Every structure is written in C-alpha cells, then in structure tokens.
C-alpha cells in the first residue's frame, strides 16, 4: 500500500508545506494552509511500477486537424473564445459569486441545444428545480438541455460516456466536484485539481468541450480556481460592478485565440443581453457639460470602445493627499500626475485626486493617458471640456504625446457616434484616413493644459477675487486668535 503523505497545502495558491504555518510564503495569504493527503494526486493505478509503453514521435510539419470550432450562438461569447468552443478543450469561467456565471452558461447551453447539439448542464450547487426556475425566467425552459444536479466526477464521466458524445458540458462549479481518487474534502485544492484533471482527460478523449465554473473568493476560503488555471485551455473572467448592470467577459488566457478581446453584456430581468455596440452603452448616461469628464476613444481587442473618464480634483484636508482610481492602473495615474506637475506647472500635491472609468470597464491601454490628463486638468480649473471631443494618446515621461495604434479605427467609431472632433497625438496624422472629424493634434501635454486652462477658473474658491482683497500680513483667522488678558 502506498504510504500516505500528509502535507499542508495553501488553499489559495496550492503551495505545499511539511509543517503548518500561519502565512503562505508563496502567495502571502494568511490562514490558508489546510492539511491534505497529497498522495492521491496521481491515481494508484498510474503509480504502479509498470514499464512505460513506447509511442511514435511526430514531426512539426505533419498534417494537423485545425481546431474545429462550435459557435455558442452568442456573438459576444464567441468573440472572447476566439470564434467558438474548440472540440476537446476545457474552459474555466471565473468570477465573483452572483455576477451571472450560471445565467451566462444556462443561456449558452440552451443556444447550443436549440441548434441541435447535445448540451449538458451539471450543477453541483443548485438543485434541478432551481436551475429550471432560472431557465423559465430566461424563457429557455423548452430548450432540450440535459440537466443534472451531481457532484461525483466518476458518476458524471460514466454517465456522459454513454450515448452520443456531448458537444458542450457545463460543470457549475468545479469547487463542488469530488473524486474517489483522493481523500481530501470537496473544495480543497487537491480535490479541485484531481476533479479538473479527470474532466480534462474526458474532454481530450471524447472531443467534448467542457466549461468549468470557478468562484473567486478574496479570502481564500474555498480553493480558488487558480490551481486549475494552468491545466485548462482558456480562462475567462466575468467581471462587473455588482451595482451596475454591465458585465464584461474577458479572456485571461487562451490557447486558441486572442486574450485582448472583451465581450460586453447587460444583466436584465430576462437574463444577459449581448451588447454589440458597447460605446453607445458606456456613453448613454453621460453628464454633458460638467467639468472633469473626457471621452476616451479606446480599443479593446479588435473593437473600438468609447468610454467616459471622470476625474475629481479637490483641495485636500489630509497630510498626504488621496489618489483613488477605479478602472485604470493606479501607477499610470501617478505617472500622469507627475508629468503634469513637472512639465506643465499643474500643482496637484495639495489636492485629492479621484479617477473613475464609467460603466465598470477596466482600461489597460496607455492610450488613455491623454484623456485622463484632460479630465484631471478640466476638473482642477473647473472648465468643462467640449462635449463633442474624444481624446487618445500616450503621454511619455518627458511630457510628449506619443502616437498609439489603430488611430483610424478610433476616429471612425467617434464619427459614427456623432463626435465632431478628436484630440490626438501630432505624429498620428499619417494614420488618420478620411475620418470626418476635426482633428486637434497636440505634440506635448503642455499645449493641452494651456488650452483647457484658458477655458476656466480654479474650482470654487474664487482665487481671483480673494487675490484682489487686501490681506493684512500674517493675519490670523478670527477663530485662532487668542484674546489677550
Ligand atoms: P447567477 O448566474 O446565479 O450568478 P453566479 O452563478 O455567478 O453566482 O446570477 C445571479 C444574479 O443575477 C442574481 O443576483 C440575480 C441576477 N439575475 C438577473 O438580474 N436577471 C436574470 O434573468 C437572472 C437569471 C439573474
Ligand atoms: Mg452560479
């Protein structure tokens, strides 16, 4: 009998230790180590001392079957997967609880089933009745999806091995699955890993596409799907602000497609609605004519996306002013602030700075620098930017505005949505094409700051008025004056 080796496995990142300790050295999380039997990672049958069989080695140039894809029937989902599900591939969909993973996958399986494919939905979290209730609400109750509420991987695999091979299998969620081959409790890293391995083996063998659902918890209570990420072919993350109806599906890893595409959905009372033109949605609730907002013409994957950046610059009451940013890289914000201070004479060290990307989108492009700078200066000097202008361009540390890729696609999208002018890098002119927009090219950030500053006065405190009043030197405000005697 194999000797059982007990070790302490971090439930967050999967690192194993011989002794218990409070903090995981690998990922830095506290209280995430749990005792597990790790022998079972490899089933006993495989660990036997049999002689390895020989296999044929192939050449690189041989004929390979190109990955046959299967459309999910949802264009936004296909966009993110790179054109549909690849046969025999395994996909992990991660996201916070309640974000809409089960809803998305119920819709996808129903679409596939309606298109005549065998689609199976296995829920380990909800009873069959609950899944039916959701399907009813989504108007999909009549779709010929094969449904079950099961958690044993062995049972699932033997059930699905019968009959025609399913084209799509959804496992909701991988944390609830367990296999006989290991002794740990369901939800532990060892169980999640072994269950995923068994399902991946089944997918590769039969050619069925499998989608694993994984919860992401911040405190590492449940084994995060992190450990599964390197085993699967693609990892999609489903994101969104709980309070907002927009949901964004993003590929984090994809062996068969691009990783920079996003799919945009809107959560409605009738399930997730695909948003094929996200710019219209992100700009639909624009606050026209208020200072501190600038429209950024961005690119997400192959698609231009226009989104509003909102900035608030307000005098601080703290020793160290606050810098808070939602939807953008905080270090990018610090860089833009430093360039504004150093090269454009904009003093921000006495101000709190808040920056928000509207609609819950997360921007990763450096091209947003110029729009962010415009929004910040606009808020500081309390001058609204022209409502019909879009901004894009990368700001370098020297204060120069550098060109970015796909200028003409950005301009076309802006023109399509009725914008009249674009503020863009000077050197981008060659790439412009026939945009139908007035172009305001800026070579350096200083030019832009001067243009915006000329439009307004400093916020609220009526500096000009106060400067004009004669002020007694070293005057102490009344409330700080001490009465003599
Ligand atoms: P769900 O798909 O169960 O989330 P997850 O599987 O990621 O945990 O969706 C949960 C939320 O979605 C829930 O708060 C209700 C909301 N919802 C709608 O707004 N409309 C709908 O049609 C459905 C089915 C859910
Ligand atoms: Mg769910």
**110 and 92 share one domain:** yes
**Is residue 98 a contact partner of residue 213, using CB atoms and an 8 Å limit?**
no
Query: 266 pLDDT exceeds 60?
Result: yes
Main-chain phi, psi angles of 311, to 5 degrees = -125, 145
**82 and 166 share one domain:** yes
**267 and 132 share one domain:** yes
CATH of the domain at 408: 3.30.230.10
Of 258, 275, 292, which residue is a domain's last? 275
Ligand 1, CB within 6 Å, residue ranges? 95, 97-103, 134, 137-138, 267, 269-271
Task: Give the pLDDT score at 475.
Answer: 39
**255 and 325 share one domain:** no
Query: 483 pLDDT exceeds 50?
Result: no
> Which protein residue's CA is at the shortest distance from atom 25 of ligand 1?
271
pLDDT (mean) for 296-319:
90
Of 244, 259, 275, which residue is a domain's last? 275
Task: Give the pLDDT score at 227.
Answer: 74
**127 and 173 share one domain:** yes
Task: Give the pLDDT score at 478.
Answer: 40
Ligand 1 pocket mutation, candidates 103, 137, 247, criterion most atoms within 8 A of CB: 103
CATH of the domain at 83: 3.40.50.300
Mean pLDDT in the chain? Answer: 84
Give the Å distance between the CA of 211 and the centre of ligand 2. 13
CA–CA distance, 5 with 282 (Å, rounded to integer):
54
Query: Residue 105's pLDDT band (boundaries 50, 70, 90)?
Result: very high
347-to-145, 314, 453 alpha-carbon distances in Å: 61, 12, 13
Task: Give the pLDDT score at 66.
Answer: 52
The verdict on residue 54 lying in a domain is: no
**210 and 296 share one domain:** no
Tens of pLDDT, residue by residue over 160-170, are 998 899 999 99
Query: 246 pLDDT exceeds 60?
Result: yes
Domain encompassing residue 449: 281-484
Ligand 1 pocket mutation, candidates 99, 100, 121, 243, criterion most atoms within 8 A of CB: 100
Tens of pLDDT, residue by residue over 167-184, are 999 999 898 999 998 888
**293 and 404 share one domain:** yes
> Which protein residue's CA is at the shortest distance from atom 11 of ligand 1?
98
The verdict on residue 142 lying in a domain is: yes
* Residues within 5 A (CB) of ion ligand 2: 102
Closest ligand to Cα 268: 1
Q: How many distinct structural domains can be found in the chain?
A: 3
């Amino acid at each position: 009998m194999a000797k059982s080796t007990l070790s302490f496995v971090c439930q967050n990142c999967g690192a194993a230790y011989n002794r218990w300790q409070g903090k995981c050295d690998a990922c830095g999380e506290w209280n995430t180590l749990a005792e597990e039997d790790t022998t079972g990672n490899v089933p006993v049958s495989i660990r036997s001392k049999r002689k390895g069989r020989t296999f044929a080695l192939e050449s690189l140039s041989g004929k390979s079957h190109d990955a046959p894809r299967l459309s999910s029937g949802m264009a936004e989902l296909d966009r993110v997967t790179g054109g549909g599900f690849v046969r025999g591939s395994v996909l992990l969909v991660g996201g916070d609880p309640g974000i809409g993973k089960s809803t998305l996958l119920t819709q996808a399986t129903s679409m596939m089933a309606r298109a005549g494919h065998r689609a199976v939905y296995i829920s380990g979290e909800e009873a069959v009745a609950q899944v039916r209730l959701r399907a009813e609400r989504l108007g999909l109750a009549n779709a010929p999806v094969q449904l079950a509420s099961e958690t044993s991987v062995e049972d699932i695999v033997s059930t699905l091995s019968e009959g025609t091979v399913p084209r799509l299998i959804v496992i909701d969620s991988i944390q609830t699955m367990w296999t006989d081959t290991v002794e740990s409790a369901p939800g532990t890293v060892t169980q999640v890993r072994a269950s995923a391995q068994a399902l991946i083996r089944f997918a590769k063998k039969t050619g069925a596409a499998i989608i694993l659902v994984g919860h992401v918890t911040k405190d590492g209570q449940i084994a995060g799907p992190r450990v599964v990420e390197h085993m699967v072919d693609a990892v999609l993350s489903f994101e969104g602000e709980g309070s907002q109806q927009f949901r964004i599906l993003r590929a984090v890893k994809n062996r068969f497609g691009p990783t920079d595409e996003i799919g945009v959905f809107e959560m409605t009372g009738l399930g997730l609605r695909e948003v094929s033109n996200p710019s219209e949605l992100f700009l639909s609730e624009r606050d026209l004519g208020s200072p501190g907002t600038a429209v950024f013409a961005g690119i997400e994957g192959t698609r231009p996306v226009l989104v509003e950046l909102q900035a608030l610059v307000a005098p601080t009451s703290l020793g160290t002013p606050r810098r808070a940013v939602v939807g953008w890289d905080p270090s990018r914000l610090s860089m833009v602030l430093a360039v504004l201070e150093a090269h454009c004479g904009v003093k921000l060290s006495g101000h709190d700075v808040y920056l928000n990307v509207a609609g819950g989108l997360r921007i990763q492009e450096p091209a947003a620098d110029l729009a962010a700078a415009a929004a910040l200066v606009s808020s500081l000097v309390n001058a609204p930017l022209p409502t019909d202008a879009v901004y894009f361009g990368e700001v370098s540390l020297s204060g120069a505005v550098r060109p970015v890729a796909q200028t003409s696609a950005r301009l076309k999208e802006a023109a399509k949505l009725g914008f009249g002018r674009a503020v863009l890098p000077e050197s981008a002119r060659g790439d412009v094409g026939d945009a139908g927009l007035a172009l305001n090219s800026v070579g350096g950030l200083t030019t832009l700051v001067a243009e915006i500053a000329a439009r307004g006065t400093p916020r609220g405190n009526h500096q000009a008025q106060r400067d004009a009043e004669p002020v007694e030197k070293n005057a102490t405000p009344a409330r700080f004056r001490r009465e003599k005697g």
